[in-house]
Structures are given as structure tokens and as C-alpha cells.
Amino acid sequence: MFRRTEPQIQVKTAAEIAKMRAAGRVVARTLDELRASVRPGMTTLDLDAIAERSIRGAGAVPSFKGYHGFPGSICTSVNEEVVHGIPKASKVLREGDVISIDCGAILDGWHGDSAITVAVGEVNGDDRRMMEVCEESMWRGIAELRPGKRLGDIGHAIDGYMRSRGRFGNVQEYGGHGIGTEMHMEPHVLNYGRRGKGIELVEGMCLAIEPMTNQGTRHVRQLDDGWTVVTQDGRRSAHFEHSVAITADGPLVLTARDENRAKIASLGFPDPDRS
């Protein structure tokens, strides 16, 4: 006899989702501070110090620090680096770079996880388009987070949007994940997929949605430091992420920043700061 098994997926109550929004707000404010701080001449280790101060100042803990031995409080991935870049005193930002900053925090036992890609000074049109396509593909994926939808609908929406915008590489080796009392929980969320396939999404699930968009091919490799993921062809990459709760009213963006307000309203998602 075969027994059908589903991965164990944590389902949250409304009160727990409120706690996750509190954790997500710490991440959101830290990313706001980092975005405002980014400028040519600073190092990625400078950004790490700002992030750690911001997270701990809010009474939270940086979840990345020590995660499987990761040395930083944030991941800082510059230009051809896709994700998991290690903050370093030797990594100096230059005018025209793009930097992906991934940030996680634990508050009261609940996790938030979010990422943005930021231009260092002025970047060219190709970089801007890559960032816009990546961020919009994330919103397309988030829009699928409704009870009754399927896991495959998320990846289908992300991949479909990216393909519709031209020749971008959609990284397949990494993806989103469940989030709650741990940063990485079931299920794994692919950034590609088939509509109507996979587990059913239910109210109370919380998922981190995080597409990575390359200017060249989708192929990536890991550096010898055991962390940093780079594009195989050396072309640039972008990464955006939000943690989101599935509610009866629609996707509740737990790591929403003030600058996301208009987008969230335009999509008809619930206001993450309603009481």
C-alpha cells in the first residue's frame, strides 16, 4: 500500500500572521535604510554593519548570521553575483553597479525574509529593465497566492512574465520557500512551473517569493567560497523577494515597504498595515 504524503506545511493563525508582519516590518525598514545608504565608494561590509545595527536596534536577530556558517547579517550580491554574496571589506561599490541585498530577521520567534536590487548611482537601460522585469515577475507570482490556487501557478506566472519581456535568464537552481518559525520551510517554491500543478494553497500558508533574473542565460555556478552564486556567462543578475501570507482577502505582503504601498493597492491586495 502506498500512502500519499504531503510535505508538512505550517499554517498560521491571524494572530501569528500579525507577528510575522512585525518581523517583516523590521526587514522592510532595514532594506529601506540600506537602499538609502548605498553609494559609490562604500563596501558591502559597511552595508552589513548598517543592517545588523538596524535589525538588533529593533529588538530582532539577523537570521542569516551563522546560518549554516554564513558570516554576514545580509547577503550582498554585486553585478554578476546572483545570490548569497558575502559582505566584505574588500568589495567596494562603484558607480553603475547593481547590488542585490537579501535580508532576514527573527522577531519573537517569527521570520521575515526579503530582497531588493539597487542601482549604485546611475545604471544603464539594460540594468534598469532587468531590475524592473525581476521585480514585476515577483508581483505576478505573489498575485497567485490565494486559497485554491496551486503551487505551480506561482512559478508559471513568474516564468511566463519573464519570458514575455524578452531574453532574460530565469535562474532555476534556487527559489522561494515556506517561512514561519524557520526561515526555510516546506514547500520549495519554483520560479517556473505548470498551471494547476502541485499542492493546493490554503489560507494561513506563508511563502517567500523570490525570482532571480539574469541578463544572459539562466545558468549559474557557485564560487569556491561555498556561498556566492554567480552567472556562468558573467552577465548581471537581479533578485527581488517578499514574504507573503495567503489570506481570504488576498496576498498579505509581510515584508512590504512604504514604497510598495501604491503597487499593493493597485493590485487589490490587503493593506499590510491595517489593524
Contacts for 194 with CB less than 8 Å, ≥ 6 apart: 152, 155, 156
| Residue where the block lists cell 490587503 | 270
Q: Which is nearer to Mg ion, 113 or 136 (CB)?
A: 113
Distance, in Å, from the CA atom of 94 to the CA atom of 35, rounded to the nearest integer, reads 15
Stretch that binds Mg ion, among 43-51, 95-103, 116-124, 226-234 (CB under 5 A): 95-103
Interacting residue with Mg ion among 48, 52, 80, 102 (CB under 5 A): 102
Site residues (CB under 5 A) for Mg ion, limited to 193-232: 208
**Nearer Cβ to Mg ion (63/231):** 63
Is there binding between residue 154 and Mg ion (CB under 5 A)? no
Q: Which residues contact 159 (CB under 8 A, 6 or more apart)?
A: 137, 170, 191, 192, 193
Q: Which residue has the cell 522577531?
A: 107
Whichever of 113 and 144 has its CB closer to Mg ion, that residue is 113
Segment contacting Mg ion (CB under 5 A): 3-11, 12-20, 219-227, 237-245? 237-245
Residue with cell 512604504: 258
77/231 with CB nearer Mg ion: 77
Helix or strand or coil: residue 124? coil
If one asks whether residue 31 binds Mg ion (CB under 5 A), the answer comes out as: no
What kind and span of H or E run contains 196?
none
Contact flag: residue 130 with Mg ion (CB under 5 A) = no
* DSSP label at residue 166: S
Show the cell assigned to 206: 506563508
Tell me if 113 contacts Mg ion by CB under 5 A: yes
CB of 3 to Mg ion, least distance (A): 31
Q: Give me the least distance between CB of 124 and Mg ion, in Å please.
A: 26
Sole residue written with cell 559597511: 46
Nearer of residues 45 and 74 to Mg ion, judged by Cβ? 74
Angle between helices 151-164 and 125-142 in degrees, nearest 10: 160
Query: Is the CB of residue 146 less than 8 Å from the CB of residue 201?
Result: yes
Stretch that binds Mg ion, among 13-21, 55-63, 112-120, 216-224 (CB under 5 A): 112-120
Q: Give the binding site for Mg ion (CB under 5 A).
A: 102, 113, 115, 208, 241
